């Protein structure tokens, strides 16, 4: 595929030591990553004052927190963390999980 077209599942790559983030695109406007979580891997709850984030479940089951709500997210489901809203994700299942994650604007592009 060219740089502008991606097979999201083929891009997935896991790490043993922590959640893996595979970047597909970034600019000042946004980043688009595939988050790859083995069982037990976590992105701790945090917030970004100036950026929105979307989690879109691709495979497996992820446990996503937005504000004071925590839910299991399965493929076809999507969670949105508006700017300033605390959010995080963990894989509390016994199988690998992947999510498409878009954040806009990019919180640290070029910096």
**Residues engaged in binding its own copies (CB under 8 A):** 1-2, 4-9, 24-25, 27, 29-30, 32, 50-52, 54, 56, 58, 64, 66-67, 69, 71, 73, 76-83, 85, 100, 102, 104-105
CB of 97 to its own copies, least distance (A): 15
Residue 31 CB coordination number (10 Å): 22
Location of structure tokens 């076809």: 76
CB of 20 to its own copies, least distance (A): 17
CB of 84 to its own copies, least distance (A): 11
Residue with Cβ nearer its own copies (9 or 18):
9
Whether 22 and 76 have beta carbons less than 8 Å apart is answered as no
CB of 17 to its own copies, least distance (A): 27
Looking from the CA of 3 toward its CB, the CA atoms found within 13 Å total 2
Burial class (CB in 10 A: 0-12, 13-18, 19+), 43: buried
């Amino acid at each position: 595929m060219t740089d502008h077209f991606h097979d999201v599942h083929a891009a997935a790559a896991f790490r043993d030591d922590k959640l893996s983030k595979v970047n597909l695109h970034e600019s000042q406007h946004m980043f688009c990553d595939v988050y790859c979580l083995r069982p037990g891997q976590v992105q701790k709850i945090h917030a970004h004052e100036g950026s929105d984030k979307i989690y879109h479940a691709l495979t497996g089951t992820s446990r996503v927190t937005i504000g004071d709500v925590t839910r299991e997210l399965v493929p076809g489901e999507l969670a949105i963390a508006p700017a300033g809203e605390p959010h995080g994700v963990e894989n509390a299942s016994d199988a690998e999980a992947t999510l498409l994650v878009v954040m806009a604007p990019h919180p640290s592009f070029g910096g």
